[in-house]
Amino acid sequence: MRKKIIAGNWKMNKLPNEAIEFIEEITPLVKDTKNEVILCVPYTDLFYSLLTAQNTNIKIGAQNMHFEEKGAYTGEVSPQMLKSIGVEYVIIGHSERRQYFNETDDTVNKKIKAALEIKLKPIVCVGETLEQRESGKAEEIITNQIEKAVKDIPEKEIQNIIIAYEPIWAIGTGKTATNEDANNAIKAIRNKICQIYGQNVSESIIIQYGGSVKSTNCKELFTMSDIDGGLVGGASLDPHEFAKIVNYDK
Ligand code: PGA
């Protein structure tokens, strides 16, 4: 049985004092869950969040990184820098990074490899636009993104990635994919993983849904056969709302 992983993506929100307050508030609310809880916070909140989340069941992740270890890349943060302070997860290839910061399938692939090499766990995002969905190309687009993302990554490493299926038209819009559409897209991703890595890997790899997940729709999504939890943006900014999502099965 695959476990459920619920990750918050704060995007460019919360100052360190707000991050500390959030974690202090949510800790008692999620301490008994058997689901995995991750908060992906801005770089400037990482250290404070890690300290505050020590001795809790809350894991901390970053939202991006460079693929090089070091060098003349002004403004960038390396996988080693994240790892050195105790970060465990990193979102890679979020659609906002693909859309606004020229992230490509190739840089996504490089970043996943760099993360895995030092045992940071990537949360790899894929998803189609509304136009692509309406033209019936959604599955082709997302399976293609998956194929390029995992290119040349060996089977023993691939188990350490989490995939997040996030239809772009559902992100921050209040529109959620129907449970069936989300589940079918995730099944298509699982089939692609099966083609590349075989059935064992495809049955054990974690694939989340993301895009306007909230406390009122999470249960129906997370109880679908192939959806292993969620990547949550807006609804992860409030500790009570996010705790309800983590505790969807209580
Ligand atoms: P949303 O964002 O929950 O606000 O739609 C999800 C995401 O972008 O990861």
In the prediction, which pLDDT does 174 show?
86
The long-range contacts involving 146-152, CB below 8 angstroms and separated by at least 24 positions, are: 146/189, 146/192, 146/193, 147/192, 147/196, 148/105, 148/106, 148/108, 148/109, 149/93, 149/105, 149/108, 149/109, 149/112, 149/124, 150/109, 150/112, 150/193, 150/196, 151/109, 152/109, 152/113
Query: Does the beta carbon of 172 lie inside 6 Å of ligand 1?
Result: yes
220 is catalytic: no
Rounded-to-integer distance, Cα 162 and Cα 85, Å: 21
pLDDT at 230: 98
Which ligand 1 atom is at minimum distance from the Cα of 234?
4
Going by C-beta distance under 8 Å and a sequence separation of 6 or more, which residues neighbour residue 29? 239, 240, 243, 246, 247
Catalytic residue chosen out of the listed positions 36, 96, 139, 166: 166
- Ligand 1 pocket test: pick from 97, 171, 217 the residue with the most ligand atoms within 8 Å of its Cβ: 171
Q: Is the CB of 93 under 6 A from ligand 1?
A: no
Which pLDDT score, from 0 to 100, does residue 175 have?
Answer: 85
Instruction: Report pLDDT for 176.
Output: 84
Mutate to test the pocket of ligand 1, among 6, 9, 129, 241 (most ligand atoms within 8 A of CB): 9
Residue from 94, 103, 128, 139 carrying the catalytic annotation: 94
Is 166 one of the catalytic residues? yes
The confidence score (pLDDT) of residue 177 equals 86
DSSP letters of 49-118? HHHHTTTSSEEEEES---SSSSSS-TT---HHHHHHHT--EEEES-HHHHHHS---HHHHHHHHHHHHHT
231 lines ligand 1 (CB under 6 A): yes
The per-residue pLDDT for 1 is 83
Residue 9 CB less than 6 A away from ligand 1: yes
- Ligand 1 centroid to Cα of residue 11, in Å, is 9
Say what the pTM is. 0.97
pLDDT at residue 106, rounded to an integer: 98
Question: Where in the chain are the domains?
Answer: 5-246
For residue 249, the model assigns a pLDDT of 97
The ranges of the chain with pLDDT < 70 are: none
Question: What number does the ligand 1 atom closest to the CA of 210 have?
Answer: 6
pLDDT tens-digit readout, 20-71? 999 999 999 999 999 999 999 999 999 999 999 999 999 999 999 999 999 9
Architecture of domain 5-246 in this structure: Alpha-Beta Barrel (3.20)
